[in-house]
Amino acid sequence: MSAARTLEQSGIKSAAILNDQGTELVDTRWVQSQGLQADQVVGGCFCCLFSHLSMLPCA
């Protein structure tokens, strides 16, 4: 969170990519409540899905 805030203070967009388990998405909701864009990787771990995720268009 502190690295993301430092980047944003420098004018660099940042976001958190989380791998919450379960239906509550506690980490994702907490990060969003802190004012940072966040989303979660579902269907596997981030490292296993990175090559697929890196091909997605940026929002």
Domain residue spans of the chain: 2-53
Tell whether the model's pLDDT for residue 54 goes beyond 70. no
The pair of structure tokens assigned to 13 is: 């967009």
* Reported confidence tier of residue 49, pLDDT bands at 50, 70, 90: confident
The pair of structure tokens assigned to 11 is: 């004018």
Tell whether the model's pLDDT for residue 10 goes beyond 80. yes
Rounded to whole angstroms, the Cα distance separating 29 from 9 reads 22
Average pLDDT rounded to a whole number, residues 43-50 = 73
Tell whether the model's pLDDT for residue 2 goes beyond 60. yes
pTM of the model: 0.62
